[in-house]
C-alpha cells in the first residue's frame, strides 16, 4: 500500500543549448517542476511537469499545473492510499483535464510503486524491450542549419529524424533533405499549422516518402484529419488531438490517423498511456513516444514506456546532450549505435537525481506534508 506523506515541488529553470523553434513557438528557457513524492516507508519517487511557460502546445502551463498540484491533486493524493498506481487516475477523475499536472504526480507514484516491488518501471508498465531505438527532432531554422544538424545526428547513430515544418517552410526543406538523404527515415511535425484549404500543399508532401506527417490540422480536430487522411497516402500521426483514451478510440474509429504519438503528460499519465498503447495494438495502429523538450526525469519515464511492444516506431527519444549542457539525472541518457538502454536492472525509473545540477537550476521549492 502506498500512502503519500510528503510532496516536494522543485521549480527549475533550464536553458536549452539552442532555442527550439516550431510552427507555434520558440522555446529558449525551459521551466519545469520536478515532483518528489515520499510514502509512509520513506520510499521516494519522481515525476515531471512537462507543461511549458505559456499555453502554446496545450492549454496547460507551469503555473496552472502548480495550482492544480498545490490546491487539488496533492490534497487528493494525501487523502487516499493506493494499492497500485493505476488507481491514481480514478481518484483524479472528477477533476477535468489538466493532464500534465495529473501525469506529473502519477508518474512519481509509479516510480515509488516500482521501487517497492524492487523492479524497474519498464517492467511494471509491461515493457519487454531491453533497448529502444532513438529518434531526434530538428527544429525550424534555415535549410543549411537543418541539413547540418541532420548530418550530425545521423553520425551520432539516430535511426529516425523528425523535422518541424510550417506552411511557409515545408516542401522546400523536405525536397532539399530528400536530395541529400533519399532513404532517410524522415517525418514532419506541423504542430497544427495547416488548414483543410492547404490540402494541395499537403498532397504535394506525399511524393517525399515521409514516414508520417504529425498533427497537420487543428489541435482539437479529428474530423478534418479524417478527410485529409482519405486524400493522402502519407500516414497521419495525431499528437495534440489525442488527450484521452476516448480521443484515441474515436480517431481510430473514424480513420483520422494511422499512427499515434503518446506522451504521458498530454494524456494524463502512464496508466492512460498504456491503455491507448494496448488499444492501438489491437487495432494495428503503431505508436511512438513523443517528447516535450523535457529534463531527464520525464525522459526516464518515456524510456520505460517505450519498452512496451507496440512502440514500434522510434520516438522523440534523444540523448540528454541533445538539449542540455547538463541534465538533472545520473547517469545521463546516452545514445549508442542509435539505441538507448532501458535500465531494466534498476528499481523504479532507473536513473538517480543529480542533486548538484538540480540545486543549480532551482528557482523555488515547496514542501507539502500530509
Ligand atoms: O525532442 C523533443 O522533446 C520533442 C520535440 C517536439 O516535437 C515537441 C516539443 C515540444 C512540444 C511539442 C512537441 C511536439 O511533438 O509537437
Ligand atoms: Mg508533435
Q: What is the CATH number of the domain that holds 161?
A: 3.20.20.120
Same domain, 69 and 200: no
Neighbours of 327 (CB within 10 A): 22
Neighbours of 227 (CB within 10 A): 14
Q: Which of 21, 158, 316, 335 to mutate to test the pocket of ligand 1 (most atoms within 8 A of CB)?
A: 316
249 is catalytic: no
Per-residue pLDDT, averaged over 238-252, amounts to 98
Angle at 300 (CA atoms; ends 296, 304), nearest 5 degrees: 165
Q: Exactly one of 115, 159, 263, 275 is catalytic; name it.
A: 263
Residue 346 belongs to a domain: no
Residue owning grid cell 545526428? 153
Per-residue pLDDT, averaged over 156-172, amounts to 95
Q: Exactly one of 159, 162, 164, 275 is catalytic; name it.
A: 164
pLDDT the model gives residue 91: 98
Q: Are 150 and 174 in contact (CB under 8 A)?
A: no
Cα distances (angstroms) measured from residue 14 to each of 11, 53, 71, 335: 10, 12, 25, 21
Cβ of 60 less than 6 Å from ligand 1: no
Give me the helices (H) in 117-244, please: 121-125, 143-155, 171-180, 199-205, 223-231
Same domain, 298 and 365: no
164 is catalytic: yes
Binning pLDDT at 50, 70 and 90, where does residue 233 land? very high
Residue owning grid cell 534523444? 318
Query: Where in the sequence is the domain holding 14, given as residue range(s)?
Result: 4-119+351-369
Binning pLDDT at 50, 70 and 90, where does residue 203 land? very high
Whole-complex ipTM: 0.99
Same domain, 50 and 32: yes
Binding-site entries for Mg(2+): 189, 214, 239
Residue 173 belongs to a domain: yes
Strands 44-49 vs 329-330: parallel, antiparallel or unpaired: unpaired
Cβ of 127 less than 6 Å from ligand 1: no
Same domain, 261 and 194: yes
Cβ of 189 less than 6 Å from ligand 1: yes
Same domain, 137 and 260: yes
Per-residue pLDDT, averaged over 330-359, amounts to 97
Give the pLDDT confidence of 313-335 residue by residue, as tens digits.
999 999 999 999 999 999 999 99
Give the pLDDT confidence of 270-306 residue by residue, as tens digits.
999 999 999 999 999 999 999 999 999 999 999 999 9
pLDDT the model gives residue 72: 98
Distance (Å) from CA 81 to ligand 1 centroid: 34
Same domain, 211 and 301: yes
pLDDT the model gives residue 312: 96
Same domain, 281 and 356: no
Q: What is the CATH number of the domain that holds 40?
A: 3.30.390.10
Whether 191 shows a pLDDT value over 90: the answer reads yes
Q: Which of 293, 298, 319 to mutate to test the pocket of ligand 1 (most atoms within 8 A of CB)?
A: 293
Ligand 2 ion: nearby residues, β-carbon < 5 Å: 189, 214, 239
Counting from 1 in the atom list of ligand 1, the atom nearest the Cα of 27 is 10
Same domain, 70 and 206: no
This prediction's pTM: 0.97
Query: What is the C-alpha separation between 35 and 56, in angstroms, rounded?
Result: 23
Give me the helices (H) in the chain, please: 62-68, 74-78, 88-92, 99-116, 121-125, 143-155, 171-180, 199-205, 223-231, 245-254, 264-267, 270-282, 296-306, 320-323, 355-361
Same domain, 160 and 287: yes
Same domain, 336 and 355: no
Per-residue pLDDT, averaged over 224-228, amounts to 98
Q: Are 218 and 192 in contact (CB under 8 A)?
A: yes
Residue of the nearest CA to atom 8 in ligand 1?
292
Residue 76 belongs to a domain: yes
Residue 177 belongs to a domain: yes
Distance (Å) from CA 192 to ligand 2 centroid: 9
Q: How many domains does the chain have?
A: 2
Cβ of 291 less than 6 Å from ligand 1: yes
Same domain, 265 and 157: yes
Whether 159 shows a pLDDT value over 90: the answer reads no
Counting from 1 in the atom list of ligand 1, the atom nearest the Cα of 162 is 7
Same domain, 27 and 71: yes
Percent of the chain with pLDDT over 70: 100
Proximal ligand: closest to the CA of 213: 2
Amino acid at each position: 500500500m502506498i500512502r503519500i506523506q510528503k510532496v516536494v515541488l522543485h521549480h527549475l529553470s533550464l536553458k536549452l543549448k539552442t532555442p527550439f523553434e516550431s510552427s507555434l513557438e520558440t522555446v529558449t528557457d525551459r521551466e519545469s517542476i520536478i515532483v518528489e513524492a515520499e510514502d509512509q516507508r520513506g520510499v521516494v519517487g519522481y515525476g515531471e511537469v512537462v507543461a511549458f511557460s505559456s499555453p502554446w502546445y496545450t492549454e496547460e502551463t507551469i503555473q496552472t499545473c502548480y495550482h492544480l498540484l498545490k490546491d487539488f491533486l496533492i490534497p487528493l493524493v494525501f487523502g487516499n492510499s493506493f494499492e497500485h498506481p493505476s488507481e491514481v487516475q480514478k481518484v483524479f477523475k472528477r477533476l477535468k483535464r489538466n493532464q500534465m499536472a495529473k501525469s506529473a504526480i502519477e508518474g512519481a507514484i509509479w516510480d515509488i510503486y516500482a521501487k517497492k516491488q524492487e523492479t524497474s518501471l519498464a517492467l511494471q508498465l509491461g515493457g519487454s524491450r531491453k533497448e529502444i531505438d532513438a529518434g531526434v527532432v530538428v527544429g525550424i531554422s534555415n535549410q543549411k542549419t537543418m541539413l547540418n544538424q541532420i548530418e550530425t545526428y545521423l553520425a551520432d547513430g539516430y535511426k529516425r529524424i523528425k523535422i518541424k515544418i510550417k506552411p511557409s517552410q515545408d516542401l522546400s526543406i523536405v525536397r532539399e533533405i530528400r536530395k541529400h538523404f533519399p532513404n532517410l527515415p524522415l517525418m514532419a511535425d506541423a504542430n497544427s499549422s495547416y488548414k483543410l484549404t492547404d490540402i494541395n500543399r499537403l498532397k504535394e508532401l506525399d511524393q517525399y516518402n515521409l514516414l508520417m506527417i504529425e498533427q497537420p490540422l487543428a489541435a482539437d480536430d479529428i474530423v478534418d484529419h479524417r478527410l485529409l487522411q482519405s486524400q493522402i497516402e502519407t500516414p497521419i500521426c495525431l499528437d495534440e488531438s489525442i488527450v484521452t483514451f476516448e480521443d484515441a478510440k474515436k480517431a481510430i474509429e473514424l480513420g483520422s490517423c494511422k499512427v499515434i504519438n503518446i506522451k504521458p503528460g498530454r494524456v494524463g499519465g502512464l496508466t492512460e498511456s498504456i491503455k491507448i498503447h494496448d488499444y492501438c495494438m489491437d487495432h494495428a495502429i503503431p505508436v511512438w513516444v513523443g517528447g516535450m523538450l523535457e529534463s531527464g526525469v520525464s525522459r526516464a519515464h518515456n524510456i520505460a514506456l517505450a519498452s512496451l511492444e507496440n512502440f514500434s516506431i522510434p520516438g522523440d527519444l534523444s540523448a540528454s546532450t541533445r538539449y542540455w549542457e547538463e541534465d538533472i539525472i545520473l547517469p545521463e541518457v546516452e545514445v549508442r549505435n542509435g539505441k538507448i538502454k532501458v535500465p531494466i536492472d534498476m528499481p523504479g525509473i532507473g536513473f538517480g537525481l543529480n542533486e548538484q545540477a538540480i540545486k543549480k537550476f532551482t528557482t523555488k521549492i515547496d514542501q507539502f506534508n500530509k
